[in-house]
Amino acid sequence: MMLAIDGLSVSYGGLAALRGVSLNVDEGQFVAIVGPNGAGKTTLFKAISGTVAPVAGKISFEGRDLLAIPPAERAHLGIAHVPEGRQVFASMTVLENLEMGAYAVRGRAEWERNLERILSLFPVLAERRRQLAGTLSGGEQQMLAIGRGIASAPRLLLLDEPSMGLAPATADLIFNRIAALHREDGLTLLLVEQRVAEALESCDYGYVLETGRVALEGAHNALMADDRVRRAYLGM
Determine the average pLDDT of the residues in 98-106. Answer: 87
Q: Which residues contact 169 (CB under 8 A, 6 or more apart)?
A: none
3-state secondary structure of 226: coil
pLDDT band per the 50, 70, 90 thresholds, residue 180: very high
pTM of the model: 0.93
pLDDT exceeds 80 at position 86: no
Q: What is the DSSP letter of 214?
A: E
pLDDT exceeds 70 at position 116: yes
pLDDT band per the 50, 70, 90 thresholds, residue 113: very high
Over residues 211-231, the pLDDT tens digits come to 999 999 999 899 989 988 888
DSSP assignment string, 1-56: --EEEEEEEEEETTEEEEEEEEEEE-TT-EEEEE--TTSSHHHHHHHHHTSS--SE
Determine the average pLDDT of the residues in 78-98. Answer: 92
Half-sphere exposure of 211 (CA within 13 A, CB side): 1
Determine the average pLDDT of the residues in 121-150. Answer: 96
Distance CA 128, CA 106 (A): 25
Mean of all residue pLDDT scores within the chain: 93
pLDDT band per the 50, 70, 90 thresholds, residue 236: low
Residue 215 in contact with residue 207, Cβ under 8 Å? Answer: no
Other residues' Cβ atoms within 10 Å of the Cβ of residue 107: 25
